[in-house]
Amino acid sequence: MIIVLVLIGIAIAVWLIGSIILRGIGWFFLFLGGVSLFFIEDYNSVAAYGYPGAFLSIGILSWLVGHWIFAQKRHYCNSDIARRFWGWLAGGRFDTTRNYGYVVHHVDEDPKR
């Protein structure tokens, strides 16, 4: 029972502040991967390309998931890149902004025309 309550608490925390934290973690790992690529000393080792690639992959994934959580709550994306990625993935099934458009009607300001 305690495990279920802890999991529910974690899920609520991720829902409330997860988008900010995940996007921040994503930027951190992207920076860490970029710095790791820049300071490679031994180009023949597996770790020279494995760690920066892993850091960059974790960074991109966490940044995208952070934007997905944000869009899930607010029904719009802050980033066009994230919106296009989630719209492209699985034929748009993960795009949380679809079907949330507003119809805009043009109103002519000059009624005499």
pLDDT tens-place values along the chain, 113 residues long: 889 999 998 888 888 888 888 899 999 999 988 888 887 776 666 566 678 888 899 999 999 888 888 888 877 777 888 878 877 876 777 777 776 656 556 666 666 65
Q: How far is CA 107 from CA 54, 111, 112, in A?
A: 52, 9, 13
CA distance 57 to 88: 18
CA distance 78 to 37: 28
Q: What length is written for the chain?
A: 113
Question: What residue type is assigned to position 50 of the chain?
Answer: G
pTM of full prediction above 0.75: no
User: Please, where are the H alpha helices in the chain?
Assistant: 2-38, 47-74, 80-88
